[in-house]
Amino acid sequence: MSSKIIKAEKKFLLIPIANAEYWFMPAEKIQYLGIYHEGVLLEEHEVILSRSPRCWSGLSLAPYQNQELEIRLEHGDESLIDLLEISDSLKDEDTLYQEITRPLVHFTPKHGFMNDPNGLFFYEGKYHLFAQLNPYGFGVANTHWLHAVSTDLMHWVQLPHALIPDESGRMYSGGGVVDWENTSGMQKSDHPPIFLFYTAAGSKSRWSQSRYFEIAVAISTDGGISFHKYEKNPILPHISFMNRDPKVVRHPDGNRWIMVIFLDNNRYQFLYSSNLLDWEPGQIIQIHHSAECPDLFCLPLDGDTNNIKWILWASTDNYIIGHFEGKHFIAETDTICGPSHQSISAYNLSNPSTSAYAAQTFSDAPSGRVIQMSWIRTRVLHGPFTSCISLPHELSLLSTENGPRLSVLPAKEIEHMYEKNFSFVHRGLEEIERVPTKYLSEAMDMTIRFSTKKDKLIAFSVRGVLIVYDPQKQILILPNGAFTLENDHDFLELRIITDRCSVEIYANNGLFNMTLGTVLDPANVSIQPVLLDPAVTVDFELHTLKSSWEKI
């Protein structure tokens, strides 16, 4: 072990982070970076330091201002501890959000590996987004809760981390709610208490060895600026295997809170509370072909507020529709498989869940809207971050011949990002090749409507991504597989949104949606016909998207 003494009189401890090729950090290379004060461990993180780092991350010293800290490094080349330095600014402060790999309209963290969105809520004009984050590496480890806020769902400002790992484990996924009526009795100011429910993932770190997964809370009494872990955690001790990912909502009748957690395999459990702190167990329900990260929300069927349905959602995009009778969920459907599970074949058989993951909805979104965001699992190999959060989606529940189904479409706020606009109606296919270059960019929102013939394939590419539709078999073929796309019209309409690290596709009024997590060629912004019948007609609408980071 090597150690050094610092005085926390500046903002950051700067850490040189090595690149990583896979989702998980290789065990043989892991080093342990510990922060101590008077012999007491304050933070411990798994790192791989490098003299030629992919980026320099910054560990906030704000909680320890002017204290004398001991920094310890264990395993590997312990002389690398000499690279650590304290500073009032980040190494890449002048280039943050200007990187050529940084998505233009999708949220990304300043540094590190990000995954599941967590704890989404709306309060006093701001959307609060939290997400799983390893700030000190490019694989799963050191799971913090990142915190960012936005007034319009498109422009985000990252705040200090809401939760950091401790002796109870890594800070795994969960949900957030505003306790408007102070049912918890925790209010200490003009602001109602705000709760973050999280999974204390014991045994996922050296510091938490021999601990179970438990459910815990952190509470804000200052309007969501800072959160403090509840002194009586856990509020829910270990139940089964990896019990995790608490999602909490207020029942509309106002007399109880509902929690749903993932247990194991495809089992989920409901729990109920009157005060957010004491929970009684309810029924266990199965969502087939699913795991982790439940969500729970209600929607009016076809906009009819007298016909409200509850949706129990699971990753990737499977769900059950039902209603509550007291403290019992009555399923009205079997598990409804989302589009990513409706594959005819998959390019990668080891990872059939191709779409975005761990989708969560905002609590208390204005006007009763149900706004959802998810994790796009793009492996970005360069720059100070990897992966991104999806566009905000607005959900609705529609009647179909197969029963009620969820519609997932981009939230209207994306229109704030429109910069240049181009369109034509009822033209020949060659017009696609004639879109003026000035209207093409890395980030585009386009809607293309092709007339169809049963025996004629439609094939075209967007930014080098091949998209094929077979009208006779009603199959949409994408780089990640072939998917059922039923279509009773004599035309095919697709909405496609591109960015540097993703392609999001919508059809059938949002009943079909698919996310491709892929790093696109920055030099290829073309839209090209590949195989189209000469008699096909095309309606085309295109909007280039400006960067969300212009205000950063």
Active site residues: 116
Tell me if residue 241 falls in helix, strand or coil. coil
- Burial group, residue 519, by CB count within 10 angstroms (0-12, 13-18, 19+): middle
How many CA within 13 A on the CB side of residue 278? 5
Tell me if residue 337 falls in helix, strand or coil. coil
Task: State which amino acid sits at residue 104.
Answer: L
CA 374 distance to own-chain centroid: 3
Helix, strand, coil distribution of the chain in percent, nearest 5: 10, 50, 40
Q: Of 219, 223, 203, 222, nearest to 211 (Cα)?
A: 203
Q: Of 89, 126, 130, nearest to 107 (Cα)?
A: 130
The token pair at 92 is 């890449």
Alpha-carbon separation of residue 396 from 253, 405, 406 (angstroms): 21, 8, 6
- Burial group, residue 522, by CB count within 10 angstroms (0-12, 13-18, 19+): exposed
Q: How far apart are CA 442 and CA 533, in angstroms?
A: 28
End-to-end CA distance of the chain: 40
Q: How far apart are CA 46 and CA 53, in angstroms?
A: 15
DSSP track, 76-118? S-GGGGGG-EEESS-TTTTTTT--TTS-SSS---SSEEEEEEE
Q: Are 389 and 366 in contact (CB under 8 A)?
A: no
Tell me how crowded residue 451 is: count the other CB atoms within 10 A of its CB: 19
Task: State which amino acid sits at residue 310.
Answer: W
